[in-house]
Amino acid sequence: RAIAEADGIPPLVGLASQGTSDVEDLAVRILADLSADDDNKVAIAEAGGIPPLVKHCADNASEDTRADAACALAALALVEANKVPIAEAGAIEPLLCELDRRSPTGRRSQEN
């Protein structure tokens, strides 16, 4: 809560968008952690956090960063007002790909 109360979510969203890859990865991880709180789900979306999370779910980020971004998007989607913006940002396909990568059948097909 301290990060949100200190108005720290917008700078984190900025770092997730325009930092170095290590900084972006860390910002995505922190946003994923913050997204567990209901108030933060709204604040992250209002700060423009959906597009960078979709980007990190879809790009060549590390497996951990893709998972963090997917978890954050899933948490944000629990808020009704966030569902359409998440879909409009193009999150459906990358989320399905991440789910497939993590499923037992998806892992087997990647190994072959």
Plot region of 85 (φ>0 → left; ψ -120 to 50 → alpha; else → beta): alpha
Tell me if 84 sits within 8 A of 66, measured CB to CB.
Answer: no
Give residue-wise pLDDT tens across range 44-90: 999 999 999 999 988 777 889 999 999 999 999 999 999 999 999 99
Instruction: Name the pTM for this structure.
Output: 0.86
Give residue-wise pLDDT tens across range 88-102: 999 999 888 888 887
Give residue-wise pLDDT tens across range 5-15: 888 999 999 99
Half-sphere exposure of 97 (CA within 13 A, CB side): 15
